[in-house]
Amino acid sequence: MLKRLIILLTLVLLAVVFSDLLLNYIESPVLSPLGSYYAANGPAELGAANLVTSVIVTYRGLDTLGEVTVLFISAAGVGLLLGRREAETDVAEPRNPASEIVQSAAQLLMPLVFLFGVYVFVNGHLTPGGGFQGGAIIASGILLLLLAQPYAAVSRRLIGITESLSGFSYVVVGVLGVILAGGFLDNRIMGLGQFGSLFSAGAIPIIYILIGFKVGAELGSVLDRFRAAGTGEQ
């Protein structure tokens, strides 16, 4: 009873805190000075047709580095906690295999899901999308495999190597931006190319490729850890 009362009071306090923001929110009809600068100068300075990409990957590159770091810490924490559970589990919980239709559909769709994920982060500087979105799509392909084949072997060594190399290369590209251009993750360490083409926006496609593989590997590792903890696999 006391626990439910505490939860109820917490929800009421949150409602009070956010009600003022919700009721008195007024959307600004104009961009802020910083937003106006991004909109006016982003495409010309960075060569990316997707303005969101210009802001996230370059102008606010340190924020993106923080987000990648948070995701890494989360994946490492899940691996640590569920790894202990795996070590303490001696008997695997039996699970019924998926139907033949699900398994066949997974074999057909998983390569297409991976290909679509790669497409999303390779073209992130041209269309809505990018490294995080593409990496999440790749992780959904791994989830599809684990749902269709609960006892399928996923190489944690390969996932770890992919995540480590992608993260290290991402930092290297960022440092090269400091040395060769105007700041961390500055994409102008490479030529901007022709605006709107695949090979444009300097190093942004490379940055998104690295982020995509890193995010996909980390989320895939989390999914595999949950699967292993649920089946008692060691």
- Looking at residue 61, what is its pLDDT? 84
Q: Find the mean pLDDT for residues 136-149.
A: 90
| Residue 69 one-letter amino acid | T
pTM beyond 0.75: yes
Long-range contacts of 180-186 (CB under 8 A, 24+ apart): 183/61, 184/61, 184/62, 184/65, 185/57, 185/58, 185/61, 185/62, 185/64, 185/65, 186/58, 186/61
- Decide: 192 and 112 in contact? Cβ < 8 Å: no
Average pLDDT over residues 111-140: 92
Q: Are 122 and 205 in contact (CB under 8 A)?
A: yes
Q: How confident is the model at residue 27 (pLDDT cuts 50, 70, 90)?
A: confident
